[in-house]
Amino acid sequence: MGSMKIAISVSEKEKAKGKLSPYFQALVAAGASPDELALVSAADMRRVRAEDFDGILFAGGEDVAPALYDEKTKYSSVHTDHARDKFEFALIDAAIEKRLPILGICRGIQMINVKFGGTLHQDLQSDQATEKEHKQAGSRSAPTHAVTLTEPESLLSRAFQGSCRVNSLHHQAIKHIGRGLKRTAYAEDGVVEAVEAADDYPFLLAVQWHPEEMADLPEQRRIFEQFIAKCREAAA
Protein backbone atom coordinates (compact mmCIF):
# COMPACT_ATOMS: atom_id res chain seq x y z
CA MET A 1 0.00 0.00 0.00
CA GLY A 2 2.94 2.34 0.47
CA SER A 3 2.85 4.89 3.28
CA MET A 4 0.90 4.00 6.41
CA LYS A 5 -2.51 5.48 7.21
CA ILE A 6 -4.45 4.98 10.44
CA ALA A 7 -8.12 5.90 10.82
CA ILE A 8 -9.31 7.20 14.21
CA SER A 9 -13.08 6.81 14.35
CA VAL A 10 -14.45 9.49 16.69
CA SER A 11 -17.55 11.53 17.50
CA GLU A 12 -18.28 14.72 15.56
CA LYS A 13 -17.25 16.74 18.64
CA GLU A 14 -13.89 14.95 18.86
CA LYS A 15 -13.29 15.27 15.13
CA ALA A 16 -13.68 19.03 15.41
CA LYS A 17 -10.61 19.12 17.68
CA GLY A 18 -8.48 17.87 14.78
CA LYS A 19 -4.84 17.39 15.77
CA LEU A 20 -5.71 18.45 19.33
CA SER A 21 -7.75 15.28 19.86
CA PRO A 22 -6.13 13.23 22.66
CA TYR A 23 -6.33 10.12 20.46
CA PHE A 24 -4.43 11.91 17.70
CA GLN A 25 -1.88 13.25 20.19
CA ALA A 26 -1.36 9.84 21.83
CA LEU A 27 -0.59 8.19 18.50
CA VAL A 28 1.86 10.96 17.60
CA ALA A 29 3.54 10.60 21.01
CA ALA A 30 3.88 6.87 20.33
CA GLY A 31 5.65 7.37 17.03
CA ALA A 32 3.10 8.06 14.30
CA SER A 33 3.48 11.20 12.22
CA PRO A 34 0.50 13.56 11.84
CA ASP A 35 0.13 12.87 8.13
CA GLU A 36 -0.24 9.16 8.90
CA LEU A 37 -3.44 9.79 10.86
CA ALA A 38 -6.99 10.60 9.79
CA LEU A 39 -9.85 11.50 12.13
CA VAL A 40 -13.07 10.09 10.65
CA SER A 41 -16.70 10.11 11.80
CA ALA A 42 -20.17 9.09 10.67
CA ALA A 43 -20.28 12.20 8.47
CA ASP A 44 -17.58 10.53 6.33
CA MET A 45 -19.62 7.35 5.84
CA ARG A 46 -19.99 7.65 2.08
CA ARG A 47 -16.33 8.31 1.34
CA VAL A 48 -14.42 6.32 3.97
CA ARG A 49 -13.47 2.73 3.21
CA ALA A 50 -11.52 0.38 5.49
CA GLU A 51 -9.25 -0.58 2.60
CA ASP A 52 -7.94 3.00 2.55
CA PHE A 53 -6.27 2.39 5.92
CA ASP A 54 -3.73 0.09 7.56
CA GLY A 55 -5.38 0.10 10.98
CA ILE A 56 -8.39 1.57 12.78
CA LEU A 57 -8.74 3.00 16.28
CA PHE A 58 -12.33 3.05 17.56
CA ALA A 59 -12.50 5.84 20.14
CA GLY A 60 -14.76 6.80 23.04
CA GLY A 61 -18.02 8.72 22.95
CA GLU A 62 -21.71 7.94 22.83
CA ASP A 63 -23.31 4.72 24.09
CA VAL A 64 -23.96 1.85 21.68
CA ALA A 65 -27.70 1.56 21.00
CA PRO A 66 -29.18 -1.19 23.24
CA ALA A 67 -31.31 -2.39 20.31
CA LEU A 68 -28.10 -3.70 18.75
CA TYR A 69 -27.85 -6.26 21.56
CA ASP A 70 -31.60 -6.93 21.64
CA GLU A 71 -32.50 -4.74 24.61
CA LYS A 72 -34.71 -1.71 25.08
CA THR A 73 -33.17 1.47 26.49
CA LYS A 74 -33.70 1.22 30.26
CA TYR A 75 -32.19 4.42 31.64
CA SER A 76 -32.16 8.14 30.88
CA SER A 77 -28.36 8.04 31.23
CA VAL A 78 -28.07 6.16 27.92
CA HIS A 79 -27.21 8.51 25.03
CA THR A 80 -26.74 7.02 21.56
CA ASP A 81 -25.75 8.04 18.04
CA HIS A 82 -27.35 5.67 15.51
CA ALA A 83 -25.38 7.08 12.58
CA ARG A 84 -22.10 6.42 14.37
CA ASP A 85 -23.20 2.89 15.32
CA LYS A 86 -24.02 2.13 11.67
CA PHE A 87 -20.78 3.64 10.43
CA GLU A 88 -18.56 1.80 12.92
CA PHE A 89 -20.31 -1.54 12.56
CA ALA A 90 -19.69 -1.42 8.81
CA LEU A 91 -16.12 -0.24 9.36
CA ILE A 92 -15.26 -3.08 11.73
CA ASP A 93 -16.79 -5.64 9.34
CA ALA A 94 -14.55 -4.38 6.55
CA ALA A 95 -11.51 -4.15 8.85
CA ILE A 96 -11.91 -7.75 9.98
CA GLU A 97 -12.35 -8.91 6.39
CA LYS A 98 -9.05 -7.16 5.55
CA ARG A 99 -7.48 -8.40 8.84
CA LEU A 100 -6.45 -4.86 9.76
CA PRO A 101 -5.09 -4.02 13.23
CA ILE A 102 -7.90 -2.78 15.51
CA LEU A 103 -7.64 -0.81 18.75
CA GLY A 104 -10.76 0.02 20.78
CA ILE A 105 -11.01 2.53 23.64
CA CYS A 106 -13.97 2.94 26.03
CA ARG A 107 -16.96 3.04 23.64
CA GLY A 108 -14.63 1.15 21.31
CA ILE A 109 -14.51 -1.94 23.54
CA GLN A 110 -18.28 -1.80 23.99
CA MET A 111 -18.94 -1.41 20.26
CA ILE A 112 -16.56 -4.25 19.36
CA ASN A 113 -18.10 -6.51 21.99
CA VAL A 114 -21.63 -5.87 20.71
CA LYS A 115 -20.49 -6.41 17.10
CA PHE A 116 -19.20 -9.83 18.17
CA GLY A 117 -22.58 -10.71 19.71
CA GLY A 118 -21.92 -9.60 23.28
CA THR A 119 -24.04 -7.44 25.60
CA LEU A 120 -23.50 -4.45 27.87
CA HIS A 121 -24.53 -3.14 31.26
CA GLN A 122 -26.50 -0.08 30.16
CA ASP A 123 -25.57 1.69 33.40
CA LEU A 124 -23.30 0.02 35.94
CA GLN A 125 -24.81 1.70 38.99
CA SER A 126 -28.43 1.29 37.88
CA ASP A 127 -27.84 -2.36 36.97
CA GLN A 128 -26.22 -2.80 40.40
CA ALA A 129 -23.33 -4.46 38.57
CA THR A 130 -20.77 -2.84 40.87
CA GLU A 131 -20.55 -0.79 44.03
CA LYS A 132 -17.52 1.04 42.68
CA GLU A 133 -17.86 4.34 40.85
CA HIS A 134 -16.29 3.98 37.39
CA LYS A 135 -16.87 7.56 36.28
CA GLN A 136 -14.18 9.42 38.16
CA ALA A 137 -14.23 13.08 39.09
CA GLY A 138 -11.21 15.33 38.70
CA SER A 139 -8.34 14.87 36.26
CA ARG A 140 -8.99 12.45 33.39
CA SER A 141 -5.34 11.38 33.50
CA ALA A 142 -5.35 10.29 37.16
CA PRO A 143 -5.19 6.52 37.73
CA THR A 144 -7.99 5.51 40.11
CA HIS A 145 -8.09 1.70 40.25
CA ALA A 146 -6.06 -1.39 39.46
CA VAL A 147 -6.64 -3.87 36.66
CA THR A 148 -5.55 -7.50 36.77
CA LEU A 149 -4.26 -9.22 33.63
CA THR A 150 -5.61 -12.69 32.88
CA GLU A 151 -3.50 -13.87 29.93
CA PRO A 152 0.32 -13.94 30.29
CA GLU A 153 0.81 -13.97 26.51
CA SER A 154 -1.80 -11.35 25.67
CA LEU A 155 -1.14 -8.13 23.77
CA LEU A 156 -1.87 -6.24 26.96
CA SER A 157 0.66 -8.29 28.92
CA ARG A 158 3.32 -7.15 26.45
CA ALA A 159 2.56 -3.55 27.42
CA PHE A 160 2.16 -4.11 31.17
CA GLN A 161 4.26 -6.20 33.51
CA GLY A 162 1.69 -7.56 35.98
CA SER A 163 -1.07 -5.42 37.47
CA CYS A 164 -1.38 -1.73 36.66
CA ARG A 165 -3.54 1.25 37.57
CA VAL A 166 -5.81 3.01 35.10
CA ASN A 167 -8.26 5.88 34.89
CA SER A 168 -12.01 5.23 34.78
CA LEU A 169 -14.40 7.37 32.73
CA HIS A 170 -17.38 5.21 31.81
CA HIS A 171 -20.86 4.32 33.04
CA GLN A 172 -21.33 1.26 30.83
CA ALA A 173 -19.28 -1.94 30.54
CA ILE A 174 -19.33 -5.43 29.07
CA LYS A 175 -21.91 -7.80 30.54
CA HIS A 176 -21.48 -10.91 28.36
CA ILE A 177 -18.37 -11.19 26.19
CA GLY A 178 -18.93 -11.62 22.47
CA ARG A 179 -18.06 -14.75 20.52
CA GLY A 180 -14.46 -14.78 19.29
CA LEU A 181 -13.26 -12.47 22.07
CA LYS A 182 -11.49 -13.25 25.34
CA ARG A 183 -11.18 -11.20 28.54
CA THR A 184 -7.58 -10.18 29.18
CA ALA A 185 -8.05 -7.76 32.10
CA TYR A 186 -10.59 -7.00 34.79
CA ALA A 187 -11.05 -4.42 37.55
CA GLU A 188 -11.05 -5.08 41.29
CA ASP A 189 -14.86 -5.36 41.22
CA GLY A 190 -14.91 -7.78 38.26
CA VAL A 191 -15.77 -5.28 35.53
CA VAL A 192 -14.20 -6.34 32.21
CA GLU A 193 -11.39 -3.91 31.38
CA ALA A 194 -9.89 -5.45 28.21
CA VAL A 195 -10.71 -7.96 25.49
CA GLU A 196 -8.70 -9.35 22.61
CA ALA A 197 -9.32 -11.71 19.71
CA ALA A 198 -9.51 -15.32 20.86
CA ASP A 199 -7.91 -16.56 17.63
CA ASP A 200 -4.76 -15.64 15.70
CA TYR A 201 -6.05 -12.29 14.44
CA PRO A 202 -3.07 -9.97 13.75
CA PHE A 203 -4.02 -7.31 16.35
CA LEU A 204 -7.33 -6.72 18.09
CA LEU A 205 -7.13 -5.08 21.50
CA ALA A 206 -9.86 -3.10 23.22
CA VAL A 207 -9.70 -1.48 26.66
CA GLN A 208 -12.35 0.11 28.86
CA TRP A 209 -10.16 2.90 30.22
CA HIS A 210 -8.66 5.88 28.36
CA PRO A 211 -4.93 5.28 27.72
CA GLU A 212 -4.82 8.34 25.44
CA GLU A 213 -5.33 10.48 28.56
CA MET A 214 -2.33 8.76 30.21
CA ALA A 215 0.01 8.46 27.22
CA ASP A 216 2.84 10.11 29.15
CA LEU A 217 3.12 6.85 31.13
CA PRO A 218 5.38 4.31 29.35
CA GLU A 219 3.06 1.31 29.81
CA GLN A 220 0.05 3.22 28.45
CA ARG A 221 2.08 4.55 25.53
CA ARG A 222 3.16 0.98 24.70
CA ILE A 223 -0.44 0.14 23.81
CA PHE A 224 -0.26 2.70 21.01
CA GLU A 225 3.28 1.71 20.05
CA GLN A 226 2.22 -1.92 19.57
CA PHE A 227 -0.78 -0.83 17.50
CA ILE A 228 1.33 1.46 15.30
CA ALA A 229 3.91 -1.29 14.76
CA LYS A 230 1.19 -3.66 13.51
CA CYS A 231 -0.23 -0.95 11.26
CA ARG A 232 3.23 -0.48 9.72
CA GLU A 233 3.39 -4.22 9.08
CA ALA A 234 -0.01 -4.04 7.37
CA ALA A 235 1.24 -1.20 5.17
CA ALA A 236 4.42 -3.00 4.14
- H/E run at residue 232: helix 218-235
For the four alpha carbons of 4, 34, 211 and 119, in that order, the dihedral sign comes to negative
The C-alpha atoms of residue 49 and residue 47 are separated, in whole angstroms, by 7
Identified catalytic residue from 145, 170, 171, 210: 210
AA letter at 176: H
Looking at 62, 193, 212, 213, which residue is catalytic?
212
List Cβ neighbours of 67 (8 Å cut-off, separation of 6 or more).
73
Crossing angle of the two packed helices 82-98 and 107-115, in degrees rounded to 10:
70
| Counts of helices then strands in the chain (DSSP H, E) | 6, 11
The one catalytic residue among 14, 88, 106, 193: 106
Q: Is 106 a catalytic residue?
A: yes
> Annotated catalytic sites, by residue?
106, 210, 212
